[in-house]
């Protein structure tokens, strides 16, 4: 095993290893060429992924916190495909899992350079789960209809930025519809649980018992 604080590997328990693998798998489904940022703070690991960013639209980041068996101060951004490959190798492992991190970090991941606040959030309201789910569904349908097979990458990116940059609800322009998409895509929504909304400057944090979505509108 590597020493605590090593940036070359992470020591995960069986449950947290499965949980992180699920997070990476969901991130890869909606952003196959994307990356994840992994930040260690003692025995806690924050995993970030952003399937909505760029093209003049909002930045929306999924966040889930996992426990580590050894303390780490790692802060790396790694390709999702490389992480998924490493989890595939560990698929049959039971008990503690040592996750070897990819040796190189990708360039050109501007969202990973952002640092959403860790504290100082102010509660500003709640959103009903069915409202969030409906916004995610309608946005996905609009993008599918407006970007058929063969559409250019730039055109698709502009459409996604337009659709996911709209307000999630009409009376609050500070929470983009892209936050609904990310909550749904990462499995953070539950029909029986309202989504808690917190604010910190231009940032909004949507919280459920399953995870967090951080968003910053391009309009703010």
pTM value is 0.93
Q: What percent of the chain has pLDDT over 70?
A: 95
pLDDT of res. 39? 96
C-beta separation of 99 from 12 below 8 A: yes
> 90: which DSSP letter?
T
Alpha-carbon gap, residue 203 to 216, rounded angstroms: 5
* Domains of the chain: residue spans and CATH: 9-113 (3.10.150), 122-216 (no CATH)
Weakest mean pLDDT among 1-10, 100-109, 114-123, 210-219: 1-10
Q: How many CA atoms lie within 13 A of 183 on its CB side?
A: 37
What residues contact 137, with CB distance under 8 A and at least 6 apart?
Answer: 184
pLDDT band at 103, cuts 50/70/90?
Answer: confident
Q: What's the mean per-residue pLDDT of the chain?
A: 92
Cα–Cα dist 84/88, whole Å: 6
C-alpha–C-alpha distance, residues 74 and 6, integer Å: 7
Which helix (H) or strand (E) segment holds residue 76: the answer is strand 75-79
pLDDT at 5: 37
Cβ-defined contacts of 167-171 (< 8 Å, 24+): 168/127, 168/131, 168/132, 168/135, 169/127, 169/131, 169/135
């Amino acid at each position: 095993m590597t020493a605590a604080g090593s940036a070359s590997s992470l020591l995960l328990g069986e449950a947290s290893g499965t949980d992180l693998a699920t997070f990476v798998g969901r991130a890869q489904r909606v952003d196959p060429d994307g990356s994840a940022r992994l930040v260690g703070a003692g025995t806690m690991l924050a995993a970030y992924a952003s399937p909505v960013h760029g093209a003049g639209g909002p930045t929306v980041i999924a966040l889930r916190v996992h426990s580590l068996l050894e303390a780490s101060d790692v802060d790396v951004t790694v390709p999702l495909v490389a992480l998924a490959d490493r989890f595939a190798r560990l698929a049959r492992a039971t008990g503690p899992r040592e996750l070897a991190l990819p040796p190189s970090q990708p360039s050109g991941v501007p969202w990973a350079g952002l640092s959403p606040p860790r504290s100082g959030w102010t509660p500003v309201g709640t959103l009903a789960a069915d409202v969030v789910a409906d916004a995610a569904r309608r946005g996905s349908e609009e993008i599918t209809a407006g970007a058929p097979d063969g559409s250019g990458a730039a055109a698709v990116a502009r459409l996604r930025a337009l659709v996911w940059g709209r307000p999630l609800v009409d009376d609050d322009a500070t929470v983009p519809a892209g936050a609904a998409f990310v909550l749904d895509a990462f499995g953070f929504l539950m029909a029986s649980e309202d989504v808690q909304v917190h604010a910190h400057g231009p940032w909004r944090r949507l919280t459920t018992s399953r995870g967090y979505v951080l968003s910053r509108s391009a309009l703010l």
